[in-house]
Every structure is written in C-alpha cells, then in structure tokens.
C-alpha cells in the first residue's frame, strides 16, 4: 500500500530535492480544491497541507 508520495517542484528538481506528502494529505487537498472554486493550478506542499485542514 502506498503511504506517501514524493513531490518536487522545478527548482527542487534542479537540486534533486523533494518532500514527502502523505496520500491522505494529497487526497484531502484534492477534495478541498474540487470544493473551492478559488483554488486553481498546481499547489505546492505547504498549500496542500493547508487545503487538507479544510477536510475532516
């Protein structure tokens, strides 16, 4: 079972850095973004964590 996903943005890819985001955080952020029309585009992990707090 997958428990976390490695996520990186372009600047991190250039430096070979990444952060782990749990599948739970990712799925809750997706649901929160679908429910909030003001959310658009790619979200970085701090924004995903903030979106996660909207779902519980």
Report if residue 53 sits inside a domain. yes
Domain that holds residue 33: 23-56
Average pLDDT value over all residues in the chain: 79
**Higher-confidence position of 9 and 12:** 9
Report if residue 40 sits inside a domain. yes
CA pair distance 32, 27, nearest whole angstrom: 9
Instruction: Please state the φ and ψ torsions of residue 5, each to the nearest 5 degrees.
Output: -130, 135
Q: How many domains does the chain have?
A: 1
pTM over 0.75: no
Give the side-chain half-sphere CA count within 13 A for 21: 23
Q: What's the Cα-to-Cα distance from 40 to each of 5, 29, 37, 43, rounded to whole Å?
A: 21, 12, 7, 8
**Higher-confidence position of 17 and 49:** 49
Q: What pLDDT does 18 receive?
A: 59
């Amino acid at each position: 079972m997958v428990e976390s996903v490695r996520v990186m943005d372009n600047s991190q890819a250039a430096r070979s850095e990444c952060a782990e985001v749990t599948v739970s955080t990712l799925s809750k952020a997706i649901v929160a973004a679908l429910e909030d029309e003001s959310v658009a585009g790619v979200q970085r992990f701090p924004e995903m964590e903030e979106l996660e707090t909207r779902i519980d």
